[in-house]
A and B are shown apart, each in its own frame.
Chain A
Amino acid sequence: MESKRVETVSARVDAAAAVSSTDSVEDELELSAVRHRPEGLEQLEAQTRFSRKELQILYRGFKNECPSGVVNEDTFKDIYAQFFPQGDASTYAHFLFNAFDTDHNGSVSFEDFVMGLSILLRGTVQEKLIWAFNLYDINKDGYITKEEMLDIMKAIYDMMGKCTYPVLKEETPRQHVEVFFQKMDKNKDGVVTIDEFIDCCQNDENIMRSMHLFENVL
């Protein structure tokens, strides 16, 4: 009797799992129905370098835009696109999303969001450079290839849009990538490793200065 009940229950669970995994629309509904609650304020305070008040302000803004507590990629792209009305920010937003979504589960929770921001705004220069390297390394294999860099560069130039001065041309991103590789790729092996990247950036005054640009954003 009991085994039968267990069987039916397990069958029902399997059926539910099967249904939920196949239909992507249902996945979306599930995501929106999920009410994600972030970890406690103390824990986040310990894990990030934000003060309590700053975390409160961040969370209020986050929750206002995403009442369900998580951001999925489409919402992320929409939000980011609003800051760049003249161009197409969706590709770059995609890369950004992957950089923020550290556990690669397809959604950015408040913890992911705040951890990323903590590095970007309050981290050491080393941490920021590692974060930037992570952003450029699309497949996360530890090397930035020319193709990856080209993708990133095209995404950045896409954000500029069509109406620019001087007029954007097809090979501008490629040229920019060439310049970047000439600077960064010390041993000329066609890829940039993290050490080459960090070394080169630390030797460049402009880059060093710009790393401190957004420190008092919050």
Chain B
Amino acid sequence: MAAGVAAWLPFARAAAIGWMPVASTPMPIPPQDKRKAQDGLIILNVSGTKFQTWRTTLERYPDTLLGSTERDFFFHEETNEYFFDRDPDIFRHILNFYRTGKLHYPRQECISAYDEELAFFGIIPEIIGDCCYEEYKDRRRENAERLQDDEEMDMSNDVTPVNLTFREYLWRAFENPHTSTLALVFYYVTGFFIAISVMANVVETVPCGTLPNRSKEVSCGDRYALAFFCLDTACVMIFTVEYLLRLIAAPSRCKFMKSVMSVIDVVAIMPYYIGLVMTDNDQVSGAFVTLRVFRVFRIFKFSRHSAGLRILGYTLKSCASELGFLLFSLTMAIIIFATVMFYAEKGSSATKFTSIPAAFWYTIVTMTTLGYGDMVPKTIVGKVFGSICSLSGVLVIALPVPVIVSNFSRIYHQSQRAEKRRAQRASKEAGQALVVKAATPPFESQHHHLLHCLEKTTNHEFVDEQTFQANCMEVSVVNKAGSRSSSLSSSPHGLGSCCSRRHKKKSSFSPPSTNNQELSTIQIRERPVSNSRASLNAKLDETVPLKCDESYITPSMVSLSAPVVTSADEDASTTTAYSQSNIVRVSAL
């Protein structure tokens, strides 16, 4: 409950006089306010800056330093004030928390200094208000990352921990090459060989002059076949060894084999082995040649070495829908214009526009403003439509591209922010569970007394959800068997925090004359049908609506303070109101 509303409790209690004339049972005694809170001013001297506030303001949060007796340690006798040798600027915010119930984080303060002050004064950071919470968490995360980076740098200079298994060591070497020199060497060697392999693939197609006994020009690959073959073998061996080592070192082999990088590795080295297997078969040599194309995929292995490539791949993946739209709209335009050009050029002789698919090429070349000139319209109609095609091509391509660019930046930033907020919310909810409750003890007992008065007025009791369900269940069970049991005891646990204390207080209030036996064992009992409520219960058996759906039987302990007396028309009022109370309490444990 908010601290401010606690100030209205006297009003709520006074208004309870409205229930008195209609109450059917006598009211409980109000709790004694033993500790009459002296409402004086407290002077807090924080490094020379004097703050003053009411004593009751500080005592709203008894779990903190200022609200508890812990502040007595800082009491300065000579000046009759509390002296704290801390930062007054940050203290201002802490004091505001007591006043308003909301903790704010000042942007210009250092996050670690602020955290230290909060820890000193015993305030949990999770109660920072929503207005400042995001900022606080961001700064905290940045700070944590900075600390972690520093740690990592330190760690990399340290001797590697010996207790890693060889497999973990290997994986760590592969993933973070800068951790050890061997890993670094391996990293650079593989990079070098990827480059060599790609260059070899490129160079072996270059024409290299003629052989002495041939007239035709041969490519370098054919001329120095053996050299290239040896180079290729060496590269593939290195790649194979690397792949196998990664496979061994991977913590989860299935996950590793499904990852993109491993697929690229496999695709890069497969052609060589397939080529080894099927050597001189002419039928499949065509396919074999095609396979060599896949060797170019080795260039993608560079993405392990370059973070930028990885980011590019990720962004393309995330922009897939926009790219798809671009492709779709282009396709539509291509088909339209190709059709038009085909029919426009159909009349002219020796036209290159032999079919609509043939016209696709012209449309694409024109729309992207390439204009090779291998296919040109000859008729006037064709030229008109050709020009329209090129103009619209500029528009069609220019329009979606900024959308894609902005979408990309939006998606990128959004995913960053969503990640942030998701992480923050999880930790915030965890922290809210520990939130400091701002209720002073006298407030609690007075509030419970008020609720008890309401119970007396209406002759019904508050129970919590679980016991309510249990009641529904037991009523249907008790319908048949209405046995009565002697006094048992209860220790209510399943009640909410608001009422739990109340029930505890009740059991402490019950005078020793009533025989309340404390049972320590948990027993399943049929609920006793009390005497005084016979009239109510008679109706209860018939018409109680079963609001609960689930059918479970919870073990429960029932308390019945004997003797069982009639409540409503009792004239002989005994000493305390409680002894007459016919409280049957059912609680689920």
Interface residues, chain A, CB within 8 Å of chain B? 53, 57-58, 60-62, 64-65, 79-80, 82-86, 96, 99, 113, 116-117, 120-121, 128-129, 131-132, 135-136, 149, 152-153, 156-157, 159-169, 172, 176, 179-180, 184, 197, 201, 205-207, 209-211, 213-214, 216-218
Complex Cα distance, B468 from A104, in Å, reads: 41
Cross-chain contact of A64 among B4, B18, B39 (Cβ < 8 A): B4
Contact B21 A159 (CB under 8 A): no
Contact A156 B457 (CB under 8 A): yes
Contact B584 A120 (CB under 8 A): no
Which residues of B have CB within 8 Å of A120?
14-15, 17
Interface string of B347-368 (1 = CB under 8 A from A): 0000000000000000000000
> Which residue in chain A gives the minimum CB-CB distance to B453?
A213
Complex Cα distance, B23 from A164, in Å, reads: 17
Contact B451 A84 (CB under 8 A): yes
Interface string of B76-118 (1 = CB under 8 A from A): 0000000000000000000000000000000000000000000
Cross-chain contact of A166 among B39, B457, B533 (Cβ < 8 A): B533
Which residues of B have CB within 8 Å of A213?
16-17, 20, 27, 30, 453
> Which residue in chain B gives the minimum CB-CB distance to A184?
B21
Contact B11 A132 (CB under 8 A): no
Complex Cα distance, B109 from A47, in Å, reads: 50
Which residues of B have CB within 8 Å of A61?
4, 7-8
Which residues of B have CB within 8 Å of A164?
460-463, 468
Interface string of B439-479 (1 = CB under 8 A from A): 00000001100110111011111111101100110010000
22 contacts between A and B (CB under 8 A): A58-B10, A62-B7, A64-B7, A65-B4, A65-B5, A65-B7, A79-B5, A79-B8, A117-B10, A121-B14, A131-B18, A132-B17, A152-B22, A157-B458, A157-B460, A163-B465, A164-B468, A166-B460, A167-B471, A167-B475, A213-B16, A213-B27
Q: How far is the CB of A161 from chain B (nearest CB, A)?
A: 7
Complex Cα distance, B498 from A84, in Å, reads: 10
Cross-chain contact of A216 among B33, B467, B540 (Cβ < 8 A): B33
Tell me the chain B residues, 235-274 only, with Cβ under 8 Å from chain A. Answer: none
Q: Does B163 count as interface, using CB distance less than 8 angstroms?
A: no
Q: How far is the CB of B34 from chain A (nearest CB, A)?
A: 12
Contact A210 B20 (CB under 8 A): yes
Contact B18 A132 (CB under 8 A): yes
Given contacts A129-B21, A197-B21, contact A168 B460 (CB under 8 A): yes
Cross-chain contact of A160 among B7, B12, B454 (Cβ < 8 A): B454
Contact B30 A84 (CB under 8 A): no
Given contacts A60-B7, A156-B19, A214-B14, contact A82 B1 (CB under 8 A): yes
Complex Cα distance, B36 from A53, in Å, reads: 14
Q: Does B26 count as interface, using CB distance less than 8 angstroms?
A: yes
Which residues of A have CB within 8 Å of B12?
80, 83
> Which residue in chain B gives the minimum CB-CB distance to A192?
B21
| Further 16 A-B residue pairs, CB within 8 A, beyond A163-B467, A172-B460, A213-B30 | A65-B4, A83-B450, A132-B21, A153-B22, A156-B457, A164-B463, A164-B468, A166-B537, A176-B459, A180-B22, A197-B21, A201-B21, A205-B573, A209-B26, A214-B17, A217-B446
Total interface residues on B, using CB and 8 Å? 63
Q: Does B24 count as interface, using CB distance less than 8 angstroms?
A: yes
> Which residue in chain B gives the minimum CB-CB distance to A149?
B22
Contact A165 B22 (CB under 8 A): no
Which residues of A have CB within 8 Å of B1?
82-83
Interface residues, chain B, CB within 8 Å of chain A? 1-2, 4-5, 7-27, 30, 33, 39, 446-447, 450-451, 453-455, 457-465, 467-468, 471-472, 475, 498, 533, 536-537, 539-540, 543-545, 547, 573, 584-586
Looking at A62, A166, A197, A207, the one whose CB has the most chain B CB atoms below 10 A away is: A166
Contact A160 B458 (CB under 8 A): yes
Contact A165 B9 (CB under 8 A): no
Which residues of A have CB within 8 Å of B544?
167, 169
Contact A83 B22 (CB under 8 A): no
Complex Cα distance, B461 from A157, in Å, reads: 11
Cross-chain contact of A207 among B21, B30, B584 (Cβ < 8 A): B21
Which residues of B have CB within 8 Å of A205?
573
- Name the prevailing secondary structure of the B interface residues: helix
Which residues of B have CB within 8 Å of A166?
460, 471, 533, 536-537, 540
Complex Cα distance, B16 from A165, in Å, reads: 21
Contact A156 B22 (CB under 8 A): yes
Complex Cα distance, B11 from A113, in Å, reads: 9
Complex Cα distance, B586 from A164, in Å, reads: 11
> Which residue in chain B gives the minimum CB-CB distance to A113?
B11
Cross-chain contact of B13 among A86, A180, A211, A214 (Cβ < 8 A): A214
> Which residue in chain A gives the minimum CB-CB distance to B7?
A61
Complex Cα distance, B533 from A50, in Å, reads: 43
Contact B586 A165 (CB under 8 A): yes
Which residues of A have CB within 8 Å of B23?
206-207, 210
Contact A176 B5 (CB under 8 A): no
Cross-chain contact of B461 among A58, A129, A132, A165 (Cβ < 8 A): A165
Q: How far is the CB of A140 from chain B (nearest CB, A)?
A: 15
Complex Cα distance, B537 from A65, in Å, reads: 44
> Which residue in chain A gives the minimum CB-CB distance to B454?
A159
Q: How far is the CB of A80 from chain B (nearest CB, A)?
A: 6
Which residues of B have CB within 8 Å of A116?
14
Contact B17 A211 (CB under 8 A): yes
Q: How far is the CB of B8 from chain A (nearest CB, A)?
A: 5
> Which residue in chain A gives the minimum CB-CB distance to B9?
A83
Looking at B20, B461, B468, B472, the one whose CB has the most chain A CB atoms below 10 A away is: B20
Complex Cα distance, B10 from A47, in Å, reads: 19
Q: How far is the CB of A11 from chain B (nearest CB, A)?
A: 44
Q: How far is the CB of B13 from chain A (nearest CB, A)?
A: 5
Looking at A96, A165, A169, A176, the one whose CB has the most chain B CB atoms below 10 A away is: A165
Q: How far is the CB of B559 from chain A (nearest CB, A)?
A: 12
Contact B13 A217 (CB under 8 A): yes
Which residues of B have CB within 8 Å of A84?
451, 454
Which residues of A have CB within 8 Å of B9?
83
Q: How far is the CB of A129 from chain B (nearest CB, A)?
A: 7
Complex Cα distance, B23 from A132, in Å, reads: 12
Given contacts A61-B7, A64-B7, contact A169 B543 (CB under 8 A): yes
